[in-house]
Amino acid sequence: MTAAVGRAQPSALTVPQVRAALPGALRKLDPRHLWHNPVMFVVWVGAVACTIATVVQPGSLSVAVACWLWLTVLFGNLAESVAEGRGKAQADTLRKARTETEARLLTSAGTTVVVPSSHLLPGDRVVVAAGQIIPGDGDVIEGVASVDESAITGESAPVIREAGGDRSAVTGGTTVLSDQITVKITAAPGESFLDKMIALVEGSSRRKTPNEVALSILLSSLTIIFLLAVATLAPMAAYAGERLSMVVLIALLVCLIPTTIGALLSAIGIAGMDRLVRANVIALSGRAVEAAGDIATLLLDKTGTITLGNRRATEFLPAPGVTAAELRDAARLASLADLTPEGRSIVALAHERGAADDTEPPGSVAVEFTAQTRMSGVDLADSHQLRKGAGSAVAAWSESDGAGPMTETITSIARSGGTPLVVAERRGGVGRLLGVIQLEDVVKPGIAERFGQLRAMGIKTVMITGDNPATAEAIATAAGVDDFLAEATPEDKLRLIRAEQSGGRMVAMTGDGTNDAPALAAADVGVAMNTGTSAAKEAGNMVDLDSDPTKLIDVVQIGKQLLITRGALTTFSVANDIAKYFAILPALFVATYPGLAALDIMRLHSPESAILSAVIFNALIIVALIPLAMRGVRYRPASASALLRRNLVIYGLGGIIAPFLGIKLIDLVLVGVGSLIPALAL
C-alpha cells in the first residue's frame, strides 16, 4: 500500500465529528432529500406510520419501534453528513484562499490599470509582481517567477512558473514570491479552478455515478420484493388465527430491506472522493473515481514519471571531420531559445566547455520544438540553419545520409538508457551532420516494485516517450513496464488509447502539456498536472495538485478501494438481511407453526422482543459501519478472484453471523432491563 492510499484515517466516529454532522443529519430528515434514496425513504415512511399508530394506540412496543425507526433514518443521514463534513472543512480552507484582489490589467496601449479581480474576463492580460496575489486562473505568457501555491496544494515549497513549456499555468489565489510575470486569464469569474474545487470537495456538484445508479436500482428492486413478501405475511398469519399489527409489519419490512447499504451508499462515494482530496487529487466527477478502479491499462510518460526527469546534457560527441568547438557552438545556438531543462542544460554545458555568452546573433529566428517535427533550433541571418532533435527527424530535415558514422555512438547512448540528440546544419540547401548531444536520466528508485504491484492487479503499464526505440527499450526494461511507445506524437497516443479501448480495456494516463490534451480527453481517466497548461487541466477529469505523475498509481488504488468498499458493504448488507429473516420469522410464528422451532436457534424471549431487538440491531449496525465506509476497506493488490473470495469470507459470512449474535445480545439486554423496570417489559 502506498503512502497516499495508506494514509491514516480515523478508526472510529469522534464526538466532535458527530456534533458537527448532527445538524446536517437532522436537516436531511426532509422527505424531499430522502426521496433520492428509495430505501431510506421507505424507512422514513415506516417511521411516520409507526408514529401515527403510536398516537392512535399507544403501547411500549409501538413507541420503541417508532423511536428506533427514526434513529435508523437519522443514522443513515449521519453517515452522509459525516462524509460531507470532511469535504466542507477542506472547502472552508479553500474559501480563505479565494479573496477579492486588485489586478493590474494590461491595456492595448501597454499601460496598466487597477481593476477588481472579479472584473477580469478570459483573454485579459495582467501583470503580477513579487508579493502580489495572482488574481485569476491563467497561463504565464511572459517572464518567470517563484510562486507560493500552499493555499491550494498545502505544499509550503515554492514552485517555478514560466512562459512557454508545460509549467505555464497559474491558479488564482496563489502568491508570486519573486520576479514579475504577465498572465493571460483563462477562466471567467466564478468558474476558476478554486471555485470548482470548492464545489467538488463539499459535494454540492456531486452526482451519482453509473455504478451507484445501478446499485440503487437493485436496492429499490429488493425493497419492492420484500415489501410484497411482508404484505403476504398478514393474510397468512390471519389464516392461522394470529393477528400481526401494522407496527410489527413495518418493523419486519425495515429489518428485511437493505437498509445498511442504502444508508451508507452515498457516504461511500463521498468518502472515496475525499480520499482523493487527501491525496491532493481533485476528481472532476465521481465517474472518474469509479473508472480508476476499473483501469486495465496505464499510460505513463517516461520523463518525470518513470525517470527522475530534467535530463541533463553530459557530453558533446562530434561527427568525423567536425571539431568539438564547432559542435559545442552549434548546440548552444540551437538551444538558446529552448527554455526546457534539457535546453538550458545544453547551454550550461557549452559554457563549461568554453562557449561564448548567451547573446543571440542579430537577425536569428528561433524554431520551437513540436511533437510533429521532434526537433528545434534556429535560423541565422546568413541562410545558416541549425537543428537538434531526434535522429530520424534531423536526418530527414538535413537530407543527409542518416546518422552515418554516428550510428554506433547513437545506439550506444540509447542502449545505456541515455537520450541522443542529433545536431545538424544546413547551408545553401546542403545539409551536414555535426554530432550528438548525450542526455542522461535515471530511473526512479522503487518504481519497478510499484509496477510489479500493478501487474499483480492485472493492470498493463505502457511507457510513452519521445525517445528513439533503443532508448525506450532500455528504460522500459530497467523500470519493469510491460510495453512502451517510442517517438510518440499526440496522434500516436490517441491511436494507442483507442486501440486499447476497442479491446474492452479502460485506459488511464497523465499529462501536463497542450499536446497531451487530446489523449487526456480520450482516456477513461485523464490526470492532468496542476503545473501543466490550462488546456491539459480542462481536458482531464482529474487534477493532481502535487503535479506528481506517479500519483496515477495511487489514483488507481483509491478507485479500486472505493469499488471494493462498496462491494464489501453490499455483500454484508444482503447477508445481514438474509440472516435477520431467519432470525426473526421463526420467533414470530413458532407458536402458530410449531415446526418452526427447529429454526428458532436463538430462542429469543418473545416475538415482541425479537422484533424490537432486530430493529435496534438494524439501526446500530449502520453506526458501527460508518467508520469503515469513511476509511474504506483495506486494499491489497490481488486478482479479482482472490478479492471476491476474501469479500465473501469476511463480509458475506460476517454478515450472516453478526445479526444472530447482535440480536441475541440485544434480546438479553431488553429482558434484563424489563426485569429491573417492569414498565419497560415487552
Cβ neighbourhood burial of 235 (10 Å; 0-12, 13-18, 19+): exposed
- As a whole number of angstroms, the distance between CA 508 and CA 651 comes to 30
With 50 as the cut, is the pLDDT of residue 5 above it?
A: no
- The DSSP symbol for 304 reads I
Q: Is there a catalytic annotation at residue 524? A: no
For residue 309, name the pLDDT band (cuts at 50, 70, 90).
Answer: low
Cβ neighbourhood burial of 616 (10 Å; 0-12, 13-18, 19+): buried
- As a whole number of angstroms, the distance between CA 538 and CA 534 comes to 6
Give mean pLDDT, residues 481-509. 88
Would you say 81 and 22 are in contact if contact means Cβ atoms under 8 Å apart? yes
- As a whole number of angstroms, the distance between CA 259 and CA 251 comes to 12
With 90 as the cut, is the pLDDT of residue 212 above it?
A: no
Cell numbers that stand for 130 in this block = 513579487
- As a whole number of angstroms, the distance between CA 618 and CA 24 comes to 22
- As a whole number of angstroms, the distance between CA 480 and CA 7 comes to 26
Least confident range from 220-234, 324-338, 456-470: namely 456-470
With 50 as the cut, is the pLDDT of residue 6 above it?
A: no
- The number of C-alpha atoms within 13 Å of 448 and in the hemisphere containing its C-beta is 9
- The DSSP symbol for 235 reads H
- As a whole number of angstroms, the distance between CA 563 and CA 558 comes to 9
Tell me whether strands 525-529 and 542-544 are parallel, antiparallel or unpaired.
Answer: parallel
Q: Provide the residue ranges of all domains of the chain, joining segments of one domain with +.
A: 15-89+201-276+559-639+664-680, 121-188, 289-306+445-545, 308-442
Q: Which residues contact 428 (CB under 8 A, 6 or more apart)?
A: 383
- As a whole number of angstroms, the distance between CA 646 and CA 628 comes to 16
Partnered with residue 366 across adjacent β-strands are 378
Tell me whether strands 419-427 and 430-440 are parallel, antiparallel or unpaired.
Answer: antiparallel
pLDDT at site 4: 36
pLDDT in tens, 99-120: 667 889 988 888 889 888 888 8
> What CATH number matches the domain at 121-188, 3.40.50.300, 3.40.50.720, 2.70.150.10, 3.30.420.40?
2.70.150.10
Which candidate, 394, 415, 376, 429, places its Cα nearest to that of 319?
394
Residues 301, 467, 524, 544: which is the catalytic one? 301
Would you say 255 and 614 are in contact if contact means Cβ atoms under 8 Å apart? yes
With 50 as the cut, is the pLDDT of residue 9 above it?
A: no
Sign of CA dihedral 669, 675, 679, 682: positive
Would you say 624 and 569 are in contact if contact means Cβ atoms under 8 Å apart? no
Least confident range from 277-286, 328-337, 383-392: namely 277-286
Specify the amino acid at residue 158: P
Phi-psi region of 310 (alpha: psi -120 to 50; beta: other; left: phi over 0): left
Integer angstrom CA distances of residue 473 from 82, 153, 375, 490, 492 = 49, 35, 21, 20, 17
- As a whole number of angstroms, the distance between CA 28 and CA 73 comes to 9
How far is C-alpha 383 from the geometric centre of its chain's CA atoms?
A: 51
- As a whole number of angstroms, the distance between CA 147 and CA 134 comes to 9
Q: What DSSP letter does each residue of 253-302 carry, written as one string?
A: HHHHS-HHHHHHHHHHHHHHHHHHHHTTEEES-HHHHHHHHT--EEEEEI
Q: Helix 259-278 vs helix 193-201: angle between axes, to the nearest 10 degrees?
A: 150
Question: What 3-state DSSP class applies to 425?
Answer: strand
pLDDT in tens, 525-569: 888 887 777 778 888 888 887 777 677 778 888 888 888 999 999
Would you say 507 and 291 are in contact if contact means Cβ atoms under 8 Å apart? no
Q: Which residues contact 642 (CB under 8 A, 6 or more apart)?
A: none
With 60 as the cut, is the pLDDT of residue 449 above it?
A: yes
Partnered with residue 508 across adjacent β-strands are 298, 525
- As a whole number of angstroms, the distance between CA 493 and CA 526 comes to 13
Integer angstrom CA distances of residue 536 from 186, 526, 531 = 13, 9, 10
Tell me whether strands 180-185 and 419-427 are parallel, antiparallel or unpaired.
Answer: unpaired
Q: Annotated binding site for Mg(2+): which residue ranges?
A: 512, 516
Whether the pTM exceeds 0.75: the reply is no
- As a whole number of angstroms, the distance between CA 350 and CA 331 comes to 8
With 70 as the cut, is the pLDDT of residue 674 above it?
A: no
Provide the CATH number for the domain formed by 289-306+445-545 in this structure: 3.40.50.1000
> What CATH number matches the domain at 308-442, 3.20.20.80, 3.40.50.150, 3.40.1110.10, 3.40.1390.10?
3.40.1110.10
pLDDT top residue among 418 and 184: 184
pLDDT at site 431: 85
- As a whole number of angstroms, the distance between CA 394 and CA 374 comes to 8
pLDDT at site 665: 92
How far is C-alpha 526 from the geometric centre of its chain's CA atoms?
A: 10
For residue 67, name the pLDDT band (cuts at 50, 70, 90).
Answer: very high
Q: Say if 289-306+445-545 and 308-442 have the same CATH topology.
A: no
Cell numbers that stand for 467 in this block = 525517445
- As a whole number of angstroms, the distance between CA 525 and CA 296 comes to 11
pLDDT in tens, 19-50: 888 888 899 999 988 888 899 999 999 999 99
Helix (H) or strand (E) holding 349: helix 341-352
Would you say 431 and 424 are in contact if contact means Cβ atoms under 8 Å apart? yes
Cell numbers that stand for 137 in this block = 486562473
